[in-house]
Amino acid sequence: MSNLNNLYTNAIVEHSKAPRNFHEPETANRKASGHNPLCGDKFNVFLYIDNTGIADIGFTGSGCAIATASASMMTEKLKGKTETEARAVFTQFIDLLTGCSDLQTDSILGELSIFSGVREYPARVKCATLIWYTLQAALDGQEGTVETE
């Protein structure tokens, strides 16, 4: 069961059961949708971006515990960040999950680094990254649906 604890950490289970920022902010001025046709996960990301950066962020949708926790923790991490900072977190997160790099000593991921356990489960990596690619689409102003599988 030790392997499994790397995947379903307390934080991931807890966020999946009580996701933060799980709503559509009224002020949202950018949004994007993400869909994993293989498992049916569907999420929407909403951003309110003002001249300081991501002033508000929320998400809606449904998916597995990994996907939901990833979305919840993403919103906590990025609220108040500038777009540049958010994109830097995105890059580090994707690199960590897809095995492009190990966790760096100067990592800016913080608590998000617990998702490195997902690497042991290649079939589940897309669950964790879906919301992040959706975020990227929202930042880029693409309103279509991002698909991962």
Which among 9-17, 19-27, 52-60, 79-87 is the span making contact with another protein, rule CB under 8 A? 9-17
Place of tokens 């933060």: 20
- The secondary structure of residue 37, as a DSSP letter, is T
Q: How far apart are CA 79 and CA 88, in angstroms?
A: 14
Which among 23-31, 64-72, 90-98, 99-107 is the span making contact with another protein, rule CB under 8 A? 64-72
Which among 43-51, 73-81, 121-129, 140-148 is the span making contact with another protein, rule CB under 8 A? 121-129
Residue 9 or residue 142: which is nearer to another protein going by CB?
9
Residue 28 or residue 128: which is nearer to another protein going by CB?
128
Judged by CB under 8 A, the number of residues near another protein is 21
Which positions lie near another protein, rule CB under 8 A? 1, 3-4, 7-8, 13, 16-17, 38-42, 62-66, 121, 124, 127
